Structure 1
């Protein structure tokens, strides 16, 4: 009977779960870009990086691991309206909005990289299907020693795009690019995808 009383008292004093403001804000941004986001188990929000050279929409970590993921999401729908309106204007070159994810991810890789070269791969059709994406690239980068990236050594950048909808980048930071890094990424991989 004593244990039942303790359990009842604990249940009564439990506070309601308050939504994480960063997650709520990021989910709205993602939704506007045609992307769904679900906070993965065992992860928590951390302070978002916003500096002169680096800016992200959301950041999370897995407590107890030297690992962070930084996200950006972007809708290209407004850019498509502009593109359709101006693409046939004589003398005007208007880039296809679906390629803007390449510029964004290449800029991130160049800003983060300690070297002028980094490893780039196309995302396989199998992986694109899992994220409901049409195109994608990954970049493996040796990082500059920056306070904004908490002095991590490596980044794996995922850039995925859905035609006429939007794109997202996920920058995974670590000090060890061994098997544990990829296992941790796998624990978070289903948290974001296109609708």
Structure 2
């Protein structure tokens, strides 16, 4: 359990900001490559219909998304068992990320118009990210234990959010999660604005997993 907690903490840290050692390693690698020959940088994902639709959903939730280099778009799972808005993978790395964004504008409009007594009012829309994250993590985990933690405020602030939670999951061998072994699920929320859910899947949970997370750590955040 102690090792599992350390893994979760490492995942949060890696998602929240780029590790200095990785940034320095990239600089050294690119400098060496330029010294040998001019290398054409990897092409970014072109504007597919799925990407444009996701960016519109993100804009409605006051979220910005920039497709990170090195990744490849996947068809996002959207069926009766699981629903996400966008997905991408690192080719050859057995690593992929699913995204879901939701605006809270309509939820807040309905909540503020509610005239029932306080005891009968629905949950505050700003707390919905907790139930959403827990429900999705439980659906993925099945009977396996889930390690959940609040994301520290200073890390949430890097994404212009107000609150967040993380869930480290040992996945059962299921088609629902493409037979991946591990998942790190993160939820972020911005008051009166929207929520972000990000799920990172991998078949390993060592340094390579979090190095891959780092490559996408700045691709999505709330707008200031």
Unmatched segments (≥5 aa) in structure 2: 1-44
Say whether the 8 Å CA contact 1:121–1:137 is kept in structure 2: yes
129-138 vs 109-118, greater mean Cα deviation: 109-118
- List aligned pairs for 1:5-24, cutoff 5 A: 19-24=47-52
> 1:115 aligned to 2:143?
yes
- List aligned pairs for 1:81-160, cutoff 5 A: 81-86=109-114, 88-90=115-117, 92-160=120-188
Partner Cα distance (1:18, 1:173) in 2: 23
Equivalent position of 1:180 in the other structure: 208
Say whether the 8 Å CA contact 1:49–1:148 is kept in structure 2: no
Cα distance, 1:18 vs structure 2 = 5.0
Q: Deviations over 1:85-110 (max 9, x none)?
A: 11x52262221000111111111100
Equivalent position of 2:197 in the other structure: 169
Q: Deviations over 1:3-57 (max 9, x none)?
A: xxxxxxxxxxxxxx95222111111111111100000010111021123221111
Equivalent position of 2:61 in the other structure: 33
Cα distance, 1:116 vs structure 2 = 4.8
Say whether the 8 Å CA contact 1:30–1:37 is kept in structure 2: yes
Distance change in 2, residues 1:184/1:45 (3 Å):
same
Q: Secondary structure at the match of 1:23?
A: helix
- RMSD between superposed Cα atoms in Å: 1.4
Equivalent position of 1:79 in the other structure: 107
Partner Cα distance (1:116, 1:154) in 2: 11
Equivalent position of 1:50 in the other structure: 78
116-125 vs 100-109, greater mean Cα deviation: 116-125
**TM value normalised by structure 2:** 0.76
Partner Cα distance (1:177, 1:117) in 2: 16
* The structure with more radius of gyration: 1
Partner Cα distance (1:56, 1:79) in 2: 19
Partner Cα distance (1:191, 1:168) in 2: 12
Cα distance, 1:147 vs structure 2 = 1.5
Partner Cα distance (1:125, 1:18) in 2: 34
**TM value normalised by structure 1:** 0.87
